[in-house]
Structure 1
Amino acid sequence: MFTHHSTTKLVFLLVLSTGTSSLAYSAPDSATLDIIDARQKAFTALESQTKAVKKTLDGSDTDWQNLLEASEQLVVNSDALNGAFALGTLEGSKAKESVWSKPDKFNRLMQQMQQGYQQVALGAQNQSIAEVEKGLKAAESTCKSCHRSYRSRW
């Protein structure tokens, strides 16, 4: 027969083990954290590279070689996001659950962002400020739309 002390100890151990197992279940593993970290770094790089491209366009003497290199990095980083939102990479991320539960619009927006950055690179190759600006506008408006719909604020 259990004493009050042993019953309390048993209940405490059950609560502790239940709490621990649920924590282990919800905590992302290191591979998931690596995927999340890589996509966050790609987004951060896209933001800084977009600013660099805009700054390079500012003025009458555009450094086309610098612009081309920066635009190529935009393409590389936007392409790196393909597959970066694999199933199971929600926990620990800033993305909303709808990225995975309703992916059609999200995937379409990601593709539009990539196309915008490809247009920036093509504009840099053609030394066309208008084409670069059009690509930047397309990519940035897609980013804003995607953030409103799919990024968690906390």
Structure 2
Amino acid sequence: MSSLPFVDEHVVVVEVGVEELWQRLLVRVERALSRGGGAWYARLVGAEPLRVGGPRPLAVGSAFPGFRVARVVPGKELALEGGHRFSAAYSLVFRIDELADGRCRLRAETRAAFPGAAGRVYRLLVISSGGHALGMRRMLAGYRRP
């Protein structure tokens, strides 16, 4: 996954400790990416996987529309991967850094390969347009709320 080209990283500081943020991450990342718009979008672009499966709470092998869990380091990192008809592969890695005063930094790093003409058009429409960044900032802002 780290060999994929870097797309972007988004960061938010959350006023909770590591344990609480980790629990939020396990529940909310799946909810955000597999319900409503996320599930619809996964079907639209032909993402793999398309179905919910594997263990819960999220662990290596868990799947939901557009993503499968590739790595879990409790309290530190949740790495997701997937692919669709415009991307050979992509990854979304969430990392938690403990800060002073019981706060945490949540980072979300995206990497992806967009081969061919269709991939270049997709990158232009979704990444270069700012749509991906807007979605990621919106998702991360939700972690500030209980």
Provide the TM-score with structure 2 as the length reference.
0.25
Provide the TM-score with structure 1 as the length reference.
0.24
In terms of fraction of residues, the more strand-rich structure is 2
Identify which of structures 1 and 2 has the higher relative contact order when contacts are C-alpha pairs closer than 8 Å and 6+ apart.
Answer: 2
